[in-house]
Structure 1
Amino acid sequence: MKIGLYLGGGGPSPQVLIDQVRSAARRGLDSAFISQLTSWDALTVGALAAAAVPGIELGTAVVQTYPRHPLALAGQALTVQAVATSGFTLGIGPSHPQFIEGQFGYRYDRPARHIREYLSALLPLLRGEAVDVHGETVTAVGRLDVPAATPPSVLLSALGPVMLQIAGELTDGAVTVWPGPQTVGDHIVPAITRAAAAAGRPAPRVVSGVIVCVAADPDRARAEVAAQVGFASDLPAYRAILDRQGLAGVHETVVAGTAEVVERALRRYADAGATELIVSLIGAPQEQVRTLDVVAALRSAG
């Protein structure tokens, strides 16, 4: 199982994010995935990091589709791919109505249909092909003038049955957040694998995001997550996956404890069929350093 670092996309400067990518590469991690929030642009940071830190795969987890037209996103993604000598993965997702409607002012209308239409334009554009898509939610006409375009790997943010079906049928796999190992093994992996097989596609990537902290006080670590991102527990897609697991909030998915506890918990994701982990670090600076060391040692052990 590959292991990478998940970066929240915020911070005082893009250079801080690039330094975190460099730290992950120095410790032998496979990848660094950058989130697209309301701070630094994930794709721009990815391109800068790819140029500054060769030898580590870069990715997004995830870029919202509604605010970025497929022609625009394809051009950005191919730009990153062109400078990312160790590979680039484009993780996309429809996000949530609270953000798409509340912040951007777009209608969060029929997200599954939107994603199908979006991918029907995006994927050919990434291959250097012309598109002529006139859907209910997406219109895209034209092509990109990018010589010898090499398409990046594309992942879809997917948790529910419909999105997992689309991910397996059309993309290289899924990137997830909040499912624990049992849910990855019982729900995520079987659903996307069936969809990929039915579509005649290779076995899909299953990239599991997990918040990790090697800490003497695991409850404090979970309380930190509850305070920072507890609101995510009320987003419909996340609420559904939490309910499936019988969990009250996203803080209950945090992997925290001694180094041994953390290592055992992370190995369970591999046993469940996750092909890759991307770990998000929390806690005091010294705890994050210690956590990164433990994660790197686990990666080295294979």
Structure 2
Amino acid sequence: MRIGVMLKESSGEDPLSSIERQIARAAGDGFASVWMSHIFGFDAITALAVAGRGVSGIELGTAVVPTYPRHPAAMAQQALTAGAALRGRFTLGIGLSHRVVIEGMFGYSFDKPARHMREYLSVLLPLLNGERVAFEGETLRADIGLTAPAAPAMPVLIAALAPRMLKLAGELADGTVLWMTGRKAVAEHIAPTITKAAREAGRPEPRIACGLPISVTDDVEAARAKADEVFAMYGQLPSYRAMLDREGVASPGQVAVVGDEESVGRQLDDLAAAGATDFMASPYGSRETVGRTLELLKSRL
């Protein structure tokens, strides 16, 4: 299982330089990848292209960019630009986001999201491969070609949790990006569903990039309580709530990877055995705890 780290946005005077330093530190430490979320801060694709261009030898991925606010041709154009800037080290992670965001904030319909994603990929993927697209679906239309250099090897991962989305990810994309999804849900739901879909479509084994909060500490109870506090909203969003229910837990803190070095090591091994191909670490806690967590992760590279 490849180990990467989630980037943290900075609110300082030069926040992009802070992101660049984080990327450089991760590359220097030997991590396989860095991942940037796209919520209400920086545009993740742009930030990675700018901050990551001067750092070599590490994969840079989005986890994830919402599809609805960007036409797939605009997404492809931006991704191709980032891919060129990062010299082929860019991974495009995309996702539906959530009804409360797409309908409540952006004003788009969130009706039949799996249909939307299938149509989105029908435009996005050919454009990334350098093909012209003439497509008319129920929710999307496109008649366009791009002159940016094609990137047929650019991995495209989908934030897929529900069965239909996992099937799409296996059939059409290179894998899935997960968040708040524990070992049991990966082993019993995510990995079997996406792998079966990929095999039936004649595609390679999919990537399963599993992102979770992680804290190496001797005070497990306090760390889980802190995770419940910091990540509380993820226990309320329907898609993540469904994964916590599959795990049989009540709150985000119960899927966080928490414990001393030996315990956390076992939990990471269990995730790999469950089918995770990549672990996206989101260290949290005190400065000392985060440092201890990073040391443990580095020891496993």
Normalised by the shorter chain, which TM-score bucket?
over 0.9
> In the TM superposition, what is the alpha-carbon distance from 1:148 to its structure 2 partner?
4.7
Partner of residue 275 from structure 2, selected from 260, 273, 279: 273
Instruction: Please give the alpha-carbon distance, in whole angstroms, between the structure 2 residues aligned to 1:271 and 1:263.
Output: 12
Change (3 A) 1:31 1:136: same
Secondary structure of 1:219's match?
helix
Secondary structure of 1:82's match?
helix
> In the TM superposition, what is the alpha-carbon distance from 1:91 to its structure 2 partner?
0.5
Change (3 A) 1:8 1:137: farther
Give the letter aligned to residue 26 of structure 2.
Answer: A
Query: Is the 8 Å Cα contact of residues 63 and 92 (structure 1) preserved in structure 2?
Result: yes
Name the structure 2 match of 1:45: 47
The one-character-per-residue Cα deviations of 1:276-298 (angstroms, maximum 9, x if unpaired) are 11100101122112211110111
TM-score by length of 2: 0.95
Instruction: Please give the alpha-carbon distance, in whole angstroms, between the structure 2 residues aligned to 1:99 and 1:295.
Output: 33
Name the structure 2 match of 1:96: 98
Name the structure 1 match of 2:58: 56
Secondary structure of 1:118's match?
helix
Give the letter aligned to residue 5 of structure 1.
Answer: V
> In the TM superposition, what is the alpha-carbon distance from 1:207 to its structure 2 partner?
0.8
Partner of residue 148 from structure 2, selected from 146, 149, 153: 146
Query: Is the 8 Å Cα contact of residues 180 and 234 (structure 2) preserved in structure 1?
Result: no
Partner of residue 160 from structure 2, selected from 137, 158, 161: 158
Instruction: Please give the alpha-carbon distance, in whole angstroms, between the structure 2 residues aligned to 1:68 and 1:293.
Output: 38
Instruction: Please give the alpha-carbon distance, in whole angstroms, between the structure 2 residues aligned to 1:44 and 1:195.
Output: 32
> In the TM superposition, what is the alpha-carbon distance from 1:197 to its structure 2 partner?
0.7
Instruction: Please give the alpha-carbon distance, in whole angstroms, between the structure 2 residues aligned to 1:107 and 1:224.
Output: 35
Name the structure 2 match of 1:244: 246
Query: Is the 8 Å Cα contact of residues 218 and 257 (structure 1) preserved in structure 2?
Result: yes
Secondary structure of 1:174's match?
strand
Query: Is the 8 Å Cα contact of residues 180 and 212 (structure 2) preserved in structure 1?
Result: yes
Instruction: Please give the alpha-carbon distance, in whole angstroms, between the structure 2 residues aligned to 1:290 and 1:2.
Output: 19
Change (3 A) 1:255 1:279: same
> In the TM superposition, what is the alpha-carbon distance from 1:150 to its structure 2 partner?
4.3
Instruction: Please give the alpha-carbon distance, in whole angstroms, between the structure 2 residues aligned to 1:246 and 1:82.
Output: 43
Count of aligned pairs: 299
Change (3 A) 1:11 1:137: farther
Instruction: Please give the alpha-carbon distance, in whole angstroms, between the structure 1 residues aligned to 2:43 and 2:189.
Output: 32
Name the structure 2 match of 1:3: 3
Secondary structure of 1:262's match?
helix
Instruction: Please give the alpha-carbon distance, in whole angstroms, between the structure 2 residues aligned to 1:16 and 1:101.
Output: 33
Where structure 2 has 5 or more consecutive residues not aligned to the other structure, the ranges are none
Within a 5 Å distance, the mapping from 1:168-247 to structure 2 comes to 168-247=170-249
What percentage of residue pairs aligned between the two structures are identical?
Answer: 46
TM-score by length of 1: 0.95
Query: Is the 8 Å Cα contact of residues 36 and 64 (structure 1) preserved in structure 2?
Result: yes
Query: Is the 8 Å Cα contact of residues 216 and 257 (structure 1) preserved in structure 2?
Result: yes
Name the structure 2 match of 1:256: 258
Instruction: Please give the alpha-carbon distance, in whole angstroms, between the structure 2 residues aligned to 1:10 and 1:223.
Output: 25
Partner of residue 295 from structure 1, selected from 283, 294, 297: 297
Instruction: Please give the alpha-carbon distance, in whole angstroms, between the structure 2 residues aligned to 1:80 and 1:289.
Output: 30
Within a 5 Å distance, the mapping from 1:122-141 to structure 2 comes to 122-141=124-143
Give the letter aligned to residue 55 of structure 1.
Answer: G
Query: Is the 8 Å Cα contact of residues 23 and 52 (structure 2) preserved in structure 1?
Result: no
Residue range with higher mean Cα deviation, 16-25 or 64-73: 16-25
Give the letter aligned to residue 104 of structure 2.
Answer: G
Change (3 A) 1:169 1:11: farther
Give the letter aligned to residue 3 of structure 1.
Answer: I
